[in-house]
Structure 1
Amino acid sequence: MSEIKAFETLRDQYREMGLSTDLMDADADFTIFRLADAFGDRLPFVSPVHRLNFFVFLFVKQGKGRYTIDEHTFPLEPGTVYFTNPGHLRSYVWENTDEVYLITLGESFLKENVNADVFEEFPFLLSETFPGRVLPSDAFLGIERIYEQIYDEYTQRSLFRMRIIAALFVALLLKLKEYFWLDYNPIYEGNRSSLIVKNFKRQLEHHYRQLGEGRASQVFRVQDYADAQYLHPNYLSTVIKSKTGRSISAWIADKTVSESKSLLQNTNLSVKEIAYRLGFSETAHFSNFFKKHAKLSPAAYRMDKTAVGS
């Protein structure tokens, strides 16, 4: 089985696949271009399976192909609009790219140029499902006018280019919200089936089981959980909070308390050993943390459970 690669930018991905990157800024967190300029005569084109750590918006005025997200395949045909967010397994096939525009951007662009609370204003950006939608011609025309303006600004490289692009992109997001996700709320979209949430919970459980058994020596931080899914840590935090109503730190704290209770009740490890095993450099820090969450000191909790069991 070939290695599944993860890419931080579209430029990195296209370089890996041998496609043209001449129209992409080397250091930009935002790109827009016509696929025909990148693919040229290399059609039909079949991409390898990959992961992208950025957002992708695609607008098909005239083109044909298909794309696969996490094993679900959807057609690409005239009038199609679709987007994907970071972390998913992705591949695609293009047979025709006559009039197809692609926008890519990172989370930092959204928060710096759109809104620091962008996921509250546009919660559909956290959507876990990506069936491209074929819009009526008049609706597609309204979106086309905006992305063509964005393209013009991107290629003209004026002094205020990114500020103008950001304003136009907000207009584009509002159009997409109007046509696709007017009533969307991520907390109701498959809390139990969300792939990102599911993977995070599975990894959290597995990691704390290893810590409890002494088979892991380093406690994972948010960055570690994000790296496991090829996501930016801020994005993972936002998804977990939006879809479960609780922060990652709350999930980790609860799991630490749960594992602490298990070790106090079911092993002869000292409080100091348990503290060290769960990532506390000082026993006093562990004791304060445990008492805050369990309302008893570790020693008192162990004594209470021992008395109950005797």
Structure 2
Amino acid sequence: MEMKYTPVIGLNEYRRDQVAGREEILFNLITGARYIDQAHKHDFFTVILFESGAGIHNIDSIDYAISDREVHVLFPGQLHRWDLKSETVAYQLMIERRFFEEFSPYFRFSFTNYQNHPVIQLKEADYLMLLHEFTAIKNELQAADSLVDLIRARAAVIAAIISKQASEHFEEFKAYQSNPRLAKFNMLIDRYYKQERGVSFYAEKLGLTANYLNVLCKRALKVTANYLIQQRLLTESKRMLQNSSINIKEIAYELGFTDQAHFSRFFKSHSGFRPGEFREKR
């Protein structure tokens, strides 16, 4: 089977078209129709604030209809393409990975939560708050004596606003916000899911019994702790199959499976497709 190549685009590819920028961060204005036919991924963090618009933004093979006053968040490695219509006006920040890590704690939830919910519809007041920070970053980037510390602080405010909006819009975020132990469990899954699949491992890290961790998950999220671990593994499996040209055997080992057959059984039982079938569908 012929592998489908997925381009990985770095920040330097966009420097020529920037409105304002420095090594760590670029600001771009998006106006009018834009079309990306071939899905690609970035090695940097991106946040896009839509003032107005229509069309489709496809993120990790899911279509999101674009509308006025939205914020879209893309983490490094996520696959995307879009078809923006003529009425589109949007503001884009593209942020180098190391600089992103300096303010990323202001994204208060697991990155996986944001990746699962990359588009947030905003009320006008919330949109204007974000627009103020975007504009302030642009102005600071255009200043002759721009201060990177001030830009970092503004970026942290943007992350905090997005986190607040996510917690108001999505039940998943509300559950984690109201239960810090579940939020920590989710972050531990992100850290260890490739090596550790047992609920007892995470329960011990949290100072809980496996049974009580299951009770917390069922009470707040209506699923078991094991389900959350398996879903994190499935999400990454899908992302690697969609985003990567490496072969399925290598993906299996990267995700901690003993062999390709074990990975194929896991993937088929949770998705209904064999890995090769899923890759062909994208």
Correspondence for 2:254: 204
Secondary structure of 1:153's counterpart equals helix
1:108 deviates by 0.5
Gaps of 5+ in 2: 168-172, 177-182, 191-227, 241-249, 261-282
Secondary structure of 1:31's counterpart equals strand
Look up the equivalent residue of 2:52 and give its one-letter code: Q
- Aligned-residue CA RMSD (Å): 3.2
Within 5 Å, give how 1:71-90 maps onto structure 2.
71-90=61-80
Correspondence for 2:8: 6
Correspondence for 1:57: 47
For the residues of structure 2 that align with 1:51 and 1:44, how far apart are their CA atoms? 17
Correspondence for 1:251: none
Alpha-carbon displacement from aligned partner over 1:110-156 (angstroms, at most 9, x marks no partner): 234x3xxx448633434331341211112211221111111111222
Classify 1:56/1:22 alpha carbon distance in 2 versus 1 (closer, same or farther; 3 Å): closer
For the residues of structure 2 that align with 1:170 and 1:51, how far apart are their CA atoms? 23
Which shows bigger deviation, 65-74 or 173-182? 173-182
Correspondence for 2:156: 170
For the residues of structure 1 that align with 2:151 and 2:255, how far apart are their CA atoms? 43
For the residues of structure 2 that align with 1:108 and 1:126, how far apart are their CA atoms? 19
- The answer to whether the 8 A contact 1:59-1:81 is kept is yes
Tell me if 1:191 matches 2:229.
yes
Correspondence for 1:223: none
1:191 deviates by 3.0
User: Relative CO higher for 1 or 2, CA cutoff 8 Å, sep ≥ 6?
Assistant: 2
Look up the equivalent residue of 2:62 and give its one-letter code: H
Residues paired across the two proteins, number: 193
Correspondence for 1:125: 111
Secondary structure of 1:193's counterpart equals helix
For the residues of structure 1 that align with 2:255 and 2:69, how far apart are their CA atoms? 44
- The answer to whether the 8 A contact 1:52-1:86 is kept is yes
Which structure has the greater CA radius of gyration? 1
Look up the equivalent residue of 2:151 and give its one-letter code: I
Tell me if 1:93 matches 2:83.
yes
Classify 1:46/1:205 alpha carbon distance in 2 versus 1 (closer, same or farther; 3 Å): closer
- The answer to whether the 8 A contact 1:62-1:97 is kept is yes
Secondary structure of 1:48's counterpart equals coil
Secondary structure of 1:90's counterpart equals strand
For the residues of structure 1 that align with 2:75 and 2:63, how far apart are their CA atoms? 16
1:50 deviates by 0.5
1:206 deviates by 7.7
Identical residues among aligned pairs (%): 13
Correspondence for 2:280: none
Look up the equivalent residue of 1:65 and give its one-letter code: G
1:203 deviates by 2.6
Classify 1:3/1:130 alpha carbon distance in 2 versus 1 (closer, same or farther; 3 Å): same
Secondary structure of 1:191's counterpart equals helix
State the TM-score, normalizing by the size of structure 1: 0.53
Within 5 Å, give how 1:1-310 maps onto structure 2.
3-9=5-11, 11-12=12-13, 14=14, 21-23=17-19, 25=21, 28-36=23-31, 43-96=33-86, 98-112=88-102, 114=103, 118-119=104-105, 122-127=108-113, 128-160=115-147, 162-181=148-167, 183=174, 184=176, 185=183, 186-187=186-187, 190-194=228-232, 195-196=235-236, 202-204=252-254, 209=259
